Amino acid sequence: MSAQNNSGLQPPNTSAAPAPSRFRSGMMGRLLTPGLVVILVAIIAAMIYGATGGAARREAWYTVLLFVGLASSLNILLGYTGYVSFGHIVFFGFGGYIGFFAIYQLGWNLLPASLLGGAAAALLALGLGLAILRLRGAYFALATIGINEAMKALVINIPALGGPNGMVLNFGIYASYGGAAQAQWTVYWATAVLTLMVVLTSYIVKKSKFGLGLMAIREDEDAAEVMGVVAPRAKTWAYVISALFPGILGVLFFFKASNIEPAAAFNLNRSIELLVMVMLGGQGTVLGPILGAGGYQLLRTTLLTSDLALFGLKIKDIQLAVAGLLLLIIVLFIPVGFIGWLRSRSTRLRRWLE
Amino acid sequence: MILEVKNVTKVFGGLTAVNDVSFDLEEGQILGLIGPNGAGKTTLFNCINGIYPLTKGSVIFRGQQLNGLPTYKVADLGLARTHQIVRPLNELTVRENVMVGACFGRKNMGLGQATEVADEVLAFVGLDKRAGLLANSLNVAQKKRLEMARALAAQPYLLLLDEVLAGLNPTEVTGMVDTIRKIREQGITIIMIEHIMHAVMNVSDRVIVLNYGTLIAEGTPAEVQGNQEVIEAYLGDPDLAERLLEEERG
Ligand SMILES: Nc1ncnc2c1ncn2[C@@H]1O[C@H](COP(=O)(O)OP(=O)(O)O)[C@@H](O)[C@H]1O
Ligand SMILES: [Mg+2]
């Protein structure tokens, strides 16, 4: 019948031209926004600044870029899809282990080993996604913690991965990367470029039909499915994408550190800090995790290197206390995070703050 | 037949919310679904579009069995619905809400086309001026329109409307009834659950009546309105009985 050939629902006055819309100019027009410029400038500026002040500055900004990448990847799951993961670091650790193993035992080069680590993390997410993405809310969050701890216990019991002691690279291995100093620079640039790729991916996802489906799931998963969003598939893809990059970043990180061990690879504290970074900057925005991770990481470095004492007591792991306090403040007062708050304040700013 | 509902039964624990309900629906018609509160109307919708698995019976939509299909599959086949208790995607804009319907409904549109369709549909339901606002900023009447716009943007063959007139003032009701007629003119088949009798009787080609989960009457609006069993069913719901009687008087 006629519904079949219906070309589109017309408003009563079909003679009027359709109102111009900000999406009309096609895919490129949709992607090229002032907000993208801000994002690119932020990352590239950080990348260059970190590279132009010697080894100490490079080290500080390496961790900033690393956490921007990790937080932005978490944001695809947490911010867009609305699934809170306390165990995101498992992909960093697992990918790191697989890649490290390839370098250490199989003699692979860093590049293929990194890609292997990413693929391993993505595959892990694919398997996990099918199993635990059916859980909602707190159940999912708890499952992610369980997986991180289970993975740590598993690795401790695998002798080939070095058991509880992990693995240590022979320093000579850096020779084929132009020496240890050069290898550090290589990892810095690789991480910087990868972080740029994570952020671009995050941006493209947000602007895509896929991203619209994820955000619909975040707002009301059942209603989204009633409208036709294939939530199980979309969630799984979101999980896989958000796991891929931490896997690669993990290989680079542990290669740079020249050793890997279970406690460092599957560190739940890091996972919680990632959550703080995303929520501090603004979950569901692209710029939020960048600023959140950058700000938090710089603060963290300051706290770690200063002799801060409270009532004469030196507080161990003070950055974690600060993280907890920050999380409390965000959840209580600005649940949308810094960028989310700015966006809600001004429509004019919204174009610039994606 | 666009829809064949055969012996559909839904039991919750010990409660039979829908009891052996059967009816057919011809393409292009508007079917009114009435009955007192708690009669099982919404549950019947939930059985049709796959939110609940059926305890017994089957639903056939355009020749295809829907039993056991997830809701997104049902949407893909061209069946869209609204929710009695509105479910806006709060932190998305009104336009984006409607785009979700367009992007993931029967036509699986790309973002560009979905935007155009969303703007058309929003103009059609009178929400075009609010397209850029967040959905949670709308009032209830507007949220009902948004539910309808999302469903329409999917360009479905069959549209299930669950009390879209409830809570609207008389002017809004008239406007909405007008909209529903226009939707039918597009060739979309409609089942509407409604409490406002004159509206349902005015706009429906046929009416079915549920009471305690059982289908107690079926026919043209005039036939159903004169049915003794229907009037008695509504007497169990004093509020509605009064309204029904009032309408008969005046
Ligand atoms: N998910 C559910 N679990 C248990 N009982 C339910 C559920 N949904 C509806 N019911 C019950 O089924 C009956 C019919 O409800 P409903 O379909 O909402 O009625 P109506 O839409 O006609 O007002 C009511 O008694 C209601 O309490
Ligand atoms: Mg109901």
Query: Closest ligand to B51 CA?
Result: 1
Alpha-carbon gap: A62 to the closest alpha carbon of chain B (Å): 34
pTM: 0.90
Per residue of chain A (354 residues), give pLDDT as tens. 333 334 344 444 333 344 444 444 567 778 889 999 999 999 999 999 999 999 999 999 999 999 999 999 999 999 999 999 999 999 999 999 999 999 999 999 999 999 999 999 999 999 999 899 999 888 999 999 999 999 999 999 999 999 999 999 988 899 999 999 999 999 999 999 999 999 999 999 999 999 999 999 999 999 999 999 999 999 999 999 999 999 999 999 999 999 999 999 999 999 999 999 999 999 999 999 999 999 998 888 777 776 655 555 566 667 777 778 888 888 888 888 999 988 888 878 888 889
Query: Residue B184: inside a domain, yes or no?
Result: no
Closest C-alpha residue for ligand 1 atom 8? B43
Residue B35 belongs to a domain: yes
Contact status of A231 with chain B (Cβ, < 8 Å)? yes
pLDDT tens profile B105-163: 999 999 999 999 999 999 999 999 999 999 999 998 899 999 999 999 999 999 999 99
pLDDT in tens, B156-203: 999 999 999 988 888 888 888 999 999 999 999 999 999 877 888 889
Model pLDDT for residues B80-112, shown as the tens digit of each residue: 999 999 999 999 999 999 999 999 999 999 999
For a mutational test of ligand 1's pocket, the pick from B8, B9, B12, i.e. the residue with the most ligand atoms closer than 8 A to its C-beta, is B12
Long-range contacts of A333-339 (CB under 8 A, 24+ apart): A335/A279, A336/A282, A336/A283, A337/A278, A337/A279, A337/A280, A337/A281, A337/A282, A337/A283, A337/A285, A337/A288, A337/A292, A338/A280, A338/A281, A338/A282, A338/A288, A338/A291, A338/A292, A339/A281, A339/A282, A339/A285, A339/A287, A339/A288, A339/A291
Phi, psi of A83, deg, nearest 5: -100, 115
**Closest residue in chain A to residue B91, using alpha carbons only:** A219
Q: Is residue B125 part of a domain?
A: no
Ligand 1 pocket test target in B15, B81, B208 with most atoms within 8 Å of CB: B15
Domain count, chain B: 1
Classify residue B58: in a domain, yes or no: yes
Provide, as residue numbers in chain A, all residues whose Cβ is less than 8 Å from the Cβ of B110. 209
Burial A16-54 (b: 16+ CB within 10 A, else e): eeeeeeebeeeeeebeebebbebbeebbeebbeebbeee
State the CATH number of the domain containing residue B10.
3.40.50.300
**Residues lining ligand 1, CB < 6 A?**
B 12, 15, 17, 35, 37-43
Judge: B110–A209 Cβ closer than 8 Å, yes or no. yes
Angle between helical axes of A231-257 and A89-104 (0-180°, round to 10): 50
Question: How do strand A313-314 and strand B30-34 relate by DSSP bridges?
Answer: unpaired
Please tell me the distance between residue B44's alpha carbon and the centre of ligand 1 in angstroms.
9
| Residue range(s) defining the domain that contains residue B212 | 1-68+191-250
Which chain B residues are Cβ-neighbours of A220 within 8 angstroms? 87, 89
Task: List the domain boundaries for chain A.
Answer: 43-267
pLDDT of A25 = 57
Domain assignment present for B206: yes
Q: Which residue of B has its CA nearest to A28?
A: B112
